Amino acid sequence: MKTSLVIGVCAAYERARWSFWDMPAAIVASTYLSHLAHDGATPVAFIPSEATIDSAERLVGTVDGLLLLGGADVDPAMYGEAPDELLEATVPLRDRSEIALVRAAMAQGVPVFGVCRGLHVMNVATGGTLVQDIGVLGDARHRKAPGRLDGPTFHEADVAANSFVADALGAGLTTVNSHHHQAVKRVGSGGRVTAVSPEDGVVEAVEWSERGFALGVQWHPEAADIDGLFRVFLDECRARVSREANVSNQHQQVTEKEPANGNA
């Protein structure tokens, strides 16, 4: 049995600066990596590319969980709509790569956890749609302090009982931090809304429990020092690894007991 979880992390693809260089790059923020490291998981970056799209099923088969990060708007072409005038920057190759990985993970029962944009990708991957811009709600509550995830960005979310989010944070009102101007509109197939913003009804979490563990949240738990959502996600990854190991051991034991020629 594996001693350390391997988590596939869907890297962003943005212009970045480091050392002497300033160019497009695949990047993963350290806040996400810190949460994985805290729980002893090993991250492996999945880079947006045509090769990633073509190899999504094989790549997902090499990891114990899939993590989707925040970032650019999802291209509305991915859910069959024309762009709104308030749509912001999109990275279609990243969209296509992550949608392929999410679909492969859900099909294989690999746990999936999506943060902010990650929720949007999961919703689109399952046939849902998005509000391309939530208008004044963004400035007033959901992206109140651009570039920050601390105090000014906090607001309440109402968490449903008997949900993955409730397992981590408890049911009822909790405090979350938001930084988004898009939101879930029509929920994807099999999805259940498990948290909303009580002030305005904006969807804050959706889970696809029939696919195993598949959860997307609208807020940014990676900005917390220690967050229960990462723990629940990684616990589910471990549980799946354990179940697969038990099935493999049982199959091996049955095989060893069978006579070589198949006769009693």
- Residue whose pair of structure tokens reads 């729980």 in the numeric block: 39
| Residue 192: its H or E element | strand 192-196
* Contact between residue 85 and residue 92 where contact means Cβ atoms under 8 Å apart: no
- CA–CA separation, 23 vs 28, rounded Å? 15
Q: From the candidates 35, 142, 181, 220, which is the catalytic residue?
A: 220
Q: How many CA atoms lie within 13 A of 1 on its CB side?
A: 13
Q: From the candidates 35, 116, 179, 204, which is the catalytic residue?
A: 116
Q: Of 68, 165, 50, 59, whose CA–CA distance to 115 is shortest?
A: 68
- CA–CA separation, 182 vs 179, rounded Å? 10
Query: Is 181 one of the annotated active-site residues of the chain?
Result: no
Query: Is 237 one of the annotated active-site residues of the chain?
Result: no
Query: Is 256 one of the annotated active-site residues of the chain?
Result: no
* Interhelix angle 228-257/30-38, nearest 10 degrees: 50
CA dihedral 60, 61, 66, 72 (to 10 degrees): 0
- CA–CA separation, 264 vs 259, rounded Å? 7
- CA–CA separation, 71 vs 118, rounded Å? 8
Q: From the candidates 98, 204, 207, 222, which is the catalytic residue?
A: 222
Q: Which active-site residues does the annotation give? A: 116, 220, 222
